[in-house]
């Protein structure tokens, strides 16, 4: 990991960092068939493109948004006016997607390897979390200009990859330094993007590999490798309050195994007064109390959880898994009785899972089966299956209106 970042600009909004790699724009592709809200973007990893599923037509659009680069772990966020979507790539590009014409409307290469992305609460800036060089890049959504580079070298004692970037109230970005074992709070107000607080997670933890923020924007949860605990950063105050919560359960003795894929943390695993969270290398998920994130209990599941997603009515959370034996399956947990109430085989190597916002359908990509599935969230029946090349992330425009996405 290399942390040779751009020089940071001073903390003045009038000073704009030079744009290091240049903006390119491609002409508009074919038009959409329905309103912008109907379109769900699905990453086709191997094909280095986005496919678009029209939820109203219940079909893929003929349009593909191609030539995007290395789409491994590519994630997408949306401007709140729903004019633009943004996708960051593993080769360090930030693409702006025109949601009306379904085409690329500007690309900025901010680094050599980026991993995560967040939209500011005021909708004016995108933050890109970078591995190489380690840092955060802040980009203006309208101009696609880099307005601030925050290299890890700026404050951290060691070079570090940056991950888990989210928006937080009031108009902050929060991100995690992996090797640096720090959390940054960055002010997104007034355009200065100052690191207003650096929270040391402690040297006694393993690599913090991912993070999430609760949907009320209060708790930033950081997951570590090597031990069943989380760092919980309470953002309610400045300075933030840090505590460690153990996921150990006296009644459950499991020797952790190395999972094929690390779990994905996402703010939507909060349901019915609880947060449902994965444990690395163990075949259980943990239940925390929403209001203070205290450990409540564990639920045994069939494999190593990757995604834990709540159905919007909060009566169920759906869990996907890593590893060949389990990764085609989804288990459904009842959030009241806390039991696995249903298990279904959807498709091999499930890489992403989300629900339509009022909960009618689950949208699931099965990477090894080259398939995208629409599953009825009430009956568990597969309503549609589409062929895609190596699908992974699934992103709907409703993310524009949710804290932490």
Binding mask 47-76 for a second copy (x = CB under 8 A): --------xx--------------------
Residues that bind a second copy (rule: CB under 8 A) add up to a total of 48
300 or 401, CB closer to a second copy? 401
Binding mask 303-342 for a second copy (x = CB under 8 A): ---------xxxx---------------------------
Q: Pick the binder of a second copy from 236, 257, 339, 381 (CB under 8 A).
A: 236
Q: Is 28 in the site for a second copy (CB under 8 A)?
A: no
Q: Is 34 in the site for a second copy (CB under 8 A)?
A: yes
Q: Which stretch binds a second copy (CB under 8 A): 15-23, 193-201, 362-370, 393-401?
A: 393-401
212 or 377, CB closer to a second copy? 377
Q: Which stretch binds a second copy (CB under 8 A): 21-29, 127-135, 254-262, 265-273?
A: 265-273
Q: Pick the binder of a second copy from 42, 48, 69, 84 (CB under 8 A).
A: 84
CA gap 342, 331 in Å, rounded: 6
Q: Is 382 in the site for a second copy (CB under 8 A)?
A: no
Residues 177-216, interacting with a second copy (CB under 8 A): 216
Point out which residues bind a second copy (CB under 8 A). 34-38, 55-56, 79-84, 99-100, 121-123, 167, 169-171, 216-218, 236, 271-273, 290-291, 312-315, 356-360, 377-378, 397-398, 400-403
């Amino acid at each position: 990991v290399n942390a040779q970042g751009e020089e940071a600009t001073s903390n003045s909004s009038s000073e704009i960092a030079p744009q290091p790699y240049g903006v390119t724009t491609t002409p508009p592709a074919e038009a959409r068939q329905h309103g912008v809200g109907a379109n769900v973007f699905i990453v086709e990893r191997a094909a280095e493109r986005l496919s678009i599923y029209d939820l109203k037509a219940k079909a893929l659009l003929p349009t593909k948004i191609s030539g995007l680069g290395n789409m491994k772990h590519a994630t997408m966020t949306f401007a709140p006016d729903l004019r633009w979507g943004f996708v960051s790539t593993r080769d360090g590009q930030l693409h702006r997607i025109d949601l009306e014409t379904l085409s690329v409307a500007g690309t900025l290469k901010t680094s050599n390897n980026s991993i995560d992305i967040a939209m500011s609460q005021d909708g004016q800036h995108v933050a890109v979390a970078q591995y190489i060089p380690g840092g955060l890049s802040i980009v203006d959504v309208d101009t696609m200009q880099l307005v601030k580079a925050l290299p890890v070298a700026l404050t951290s004692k060691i070079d570090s990859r940056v991950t888990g970037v989210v928006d937080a109230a009031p108009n902050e970005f929060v991100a995690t330094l992996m090797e640096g074992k720090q959390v940054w709070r960055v002010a997104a107000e007034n355009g200065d993007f100052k690191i207003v607080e650096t929270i040391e997670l402690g040297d006694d933890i393993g690599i913090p590999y991912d993070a999430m923020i609760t949907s009320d924007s209060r708790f930033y949860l950081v997951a570590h490798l090597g031990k069943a605990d989380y760092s919980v950063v309470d953002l309610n105050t400045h300075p933030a309050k840090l505590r460690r919560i153990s996921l150990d359960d006296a009644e459950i003795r499991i020797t952790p195994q190395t999972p094929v894929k690390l779990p994905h943390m996402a703010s939507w695993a909060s349901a019915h007064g609880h947060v449902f969270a994965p444990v690395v290398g163990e075949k259980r998920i943990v239940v925390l109390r929403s209001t203070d994130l205290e450990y409540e209990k564990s639920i045994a599941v069939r494999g190593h959880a990757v995604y834990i997603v709540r159905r919007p009515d909060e009566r169920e959370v759906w869990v996907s898994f890593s590893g060949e034996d389990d990764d085609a399956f989804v288990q459904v947990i009842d959030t009241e009785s806390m039991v696995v109430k249903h298990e279904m085989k959807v498709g091999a190597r499930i890489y992403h899972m989300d629900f339509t916002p009022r909960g009618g359908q689950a949208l699931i990509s099965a990477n090894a089966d080259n398939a995208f599935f629409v599953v009825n969230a009430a009956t568990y029946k597969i309503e549609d299956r589409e062929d895609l090349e190596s699908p992974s992330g699934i992103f709907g425009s409703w993310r524009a209106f949710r804290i932490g996405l």
